[in-house]
Amino acid sequence: MTQFSLLDLVPVVEGGTVAGALANAADLARHAESVGFNRYWVAEHHGMAGIASAATAVVIAHVAAATKTIRVGAGGIMLPNHAPLQIAEQFGTLDALFPGRIDLGLGRAPGSDQRVARAIRRTLDTDPNAFPNDVVELQSYFADDGRTGIAATPGAGAKPQMWILGSSTFGAQLAAILGLPYAFASHFAPDSLDQAMHIYRRDFRPSAQLDRPYAMAGFNVFAADTREEAAFLASSQQQQFVALRTGNPGKMKPPVHGYRESLPPMHAAILDQVLSCTAVGTRDDIAAGIAAFVNRTGINEVMLTSSIYDHAARKHSIAIAADAMRDEVRVAA
């Protein structure tokens, strides 16, 4: 049976504040919990005025404290920005506070530009083995197996659910070798999705955490009572992607009628490519889009994103998606 979860970039909207974005995150997570989502993730990004989840572990604690049963975690922590011991301590603390509910997704991109990355870590390790070595070191701290010679406190003996994230085949290979669950960022980088899933399943080696492959992939949803309203709501994220790709990122802008049609052909083509894993429309449109995506990929879990300017409209979109997903689950069962 396919599971469904939610990725939230904790958007700061034009006219809004970081405090408001964080309050909305807690409210959105409670809402996702109430309509049956499996987990809620936030992602580490730095130097971006429109994203309030840079202090990712702090945001996770804020959201986990506001909810009761939903799994809460990072999708992900950008490990090159951190010493593995620090992440072991942070997520060991979260696991102690919210046992059995914390996820730790790990990515190898900095989640920022090179200038910000240097400000975070000071030096950038270009060794291709740096990320795999850091993941193994982090596993050692949680296992408390003595290989590092250091006991992480908190951290030793903690059991956050560890994931490898990726938007290329590299992460798929690493997740397969380590026997970890794998999440692919197809909600904004869909090109290598099918190849990555094939490699992950083909090369998977059972581990103490996982005896068989478990894969998740990102999928954008913009749902409303009419197709026209859904297309209108989707334009805020479309504006964000165009702004990012043209070097002008900022806070999330209000939706604009006819935005996609107003773009020059080159920008429209870029938008169609990066957002190809997307469903826009009514409940039936969303149900069909999710079902086609699951059938194509064979994934175990869908990580939905629904980046919408208006918070009430975003909650409504998620509720519609949850109702549509229940159909998909019944069909799969």
User: For residue 107, which phi and psi values (nearest 5 degrees)?
Assistant: -120, 160
Separation CA 5–CA 29 (nearest Å): 10
Give the model confidence (pLDDT) of 141-190 as tens digits: 999 999 999 999 999 999 999 999 999 999 999 999 999 999 999 999 99
**pTM (two decimals):** 0.94
Number of separate helices (H) and strands (E) present in the chain: 12, 9
In angstroms, what CA-CA distances link 278 with 260, 318, 322?
14, 14, 15
The rounded Cα 186 to chain-centroid distance in angstroms is 10
Instruction: Provide the 3-class DSSP secondary structure of residue 7.
Output: strand
The pair of structure tokens assigned to 148 is: 């590092």
Structural domain tally of the chain? 1
Confidence (pLDDT) at 86: 96
What's the domain range around 159?
Answer: 3-332
Confidence (pLDDT) at 330: 46
Confidence (pLDDT) at 112: 65
Q: Residue 33 is part of a domain; what is its CATH number?
A: 3.20.20.30
Separation CA 176–CA 208 (nearest Å): 13
36-45 burial string, b = 16+ CB within 10 Å, else e? ebbbbbbbbb
- pLDDT tens for each residue of the chain, 333 residues long: 799 999 999 999 999 999 999 999 999 999 999 999 999 999 999 989 999 999 999 999 999 999 999 999 999 999 988 999 999 999 999 999 999 999 999 999 876 677 777 787 655 666 768 899 999 999 999 999 999 999 999 999 999 999 999 999 999 999 999 999 999 999 999 999 999 999 999 999 999 999 999 999 999 999 999 999 999 999 999 999 988 888 888 999 999 999 999 999 988 988 999 999 999 999 999 999 999 999 999 999 999 999 999 999 999 999 999 999 886 544 443
The rounded Cα 25 to chain-centroid distance in angstroms is 14
Strand ranges in the chain using DSSP code E only, listed in sequence order: 3-8, 39-42, 71-78, 102-107, 161-166, 182-184, 215-223, 278-281, 301-305
In angstroms, what CA-CA distances link 157 with 69, 91, 222, 308?
22, 11, 40, 39
The pair of structure tokens assigned to 321 is: 């998606």
Separation CA 55–CA 216 (nearest Å): 24
